Amino acid sequence: MKRVKLLLAAAGTTVLLGALVSSASARNFSISNQSISAMWSSVHFEGPFGGITDCHLTLEGSFHSRTAAKVQGSLIGYITKATLGRCEVGTATIHQERLPWHIRYSGFEGALPNIRSLIIHIIGASFQGRTTEGITCHFVTTAAQPGIGRTHRDTATHELTEAGIEGRIRTTECLGAEAILSTARSGAISLLGTPNVRISVSLI
């Protein structure tokens, strides 16, 4: 009997260790849908020449594949459409000719396998802002100064529930001044064209 208990205990330990190793060594993400949409009602640009605040922003795009490598810096998709609505303070315009923008995987927050958020970098976003003082500056996100998306993930359902945007972006004009990009409220993420359908991301 004692020998049987020892064998059962050893078997249980082996299964547990196997599960832990499998989770820790997961190399890829499995994505439920490739086409995505994200919406924010309050985007802020704060710079030394004044702020441009409470702008409405909608981004649409797609992942290259239903499977994405968990490799920092890897290109996983594109932003193909960007719509910037009215701003409460100041004005801003997206340079549509610079689309598509690159989506690159940057990392995650939380401990495997319970990832709480995925971090992506948006490269190539180009826009122009004009403050209430009449100062106009041009901004472009780069690998050195990316737009950072922090997408929150439900650890139980694996769904991406919302996302924030942040970053420090230097202008190509305006004496190289730097602006801080942020969102006062998180934006909703969904399947493109179907706002009530969430995107889920699992480890494989």
Confidence bin at 51 (pLDDT 50/70/90) = confident
Confidence bin at 46 (pLDDT 50/70/90) = confident
- Whether cis (ω within 30° of 0) applies to the bond prior to 146 is no
pLDDT at 25: 53
Residues 158, 115: Cα–Cα separation, whole Å: 9
**Does residue 58 surpass a pLDDT of 80?**
yes
101's tokens: 């923008």
In the chain, the percentage of residues whose pLDDT exceeds 90 is 68
Q: Where are the beta strands (DSSP E) in the chain?
A: 28-31, 35-47, 50-63, 67-69, 75-89, 91-94, 101-111, 114-123, 126-130, 136-140, 147-153, 159-170, 178-183, 187-191, 199-203
Confidence bin at 5 (pLDDT 50/70/90) = very low
Q: What is the mean pLDDT of the chain?
A: 87
| Spatial CA neighbour of 123 closest among 186, 73, 181, 162 | 73
pLDDT tens, residue by residue, 131-183: 888 888 899 999 999 999 999 999 999 999 999 999 999 887 788 888 899 99
DSSP 113-146: TEEEEEEEEEE--EEEEE-TTS-EEEEE--SSS-
**Does residue 20 surpass a pLDDT of 90?**
no
End-to-end CA distance of the chain: 38
Residues 28, 72: Cα–Cα separation, whole Å: 12
Give phi and psi for 200, each to the nearest 5. Answer: -110, 145
Q: What is the DSSP letter of 96?
A: G
Segment among 47-51, 185-189, 190-194 with least mean pLDDT: 47-51
pTM exceeding 0.75: yes
| Spatial CA neighbour of 108 closest among 97, 120, 99 | 120
**Does residue 24 surpass a pLDDT of 60?**
no
pLDDT at 8: 41
Per domain, the residue ranges of the chain are 28-203
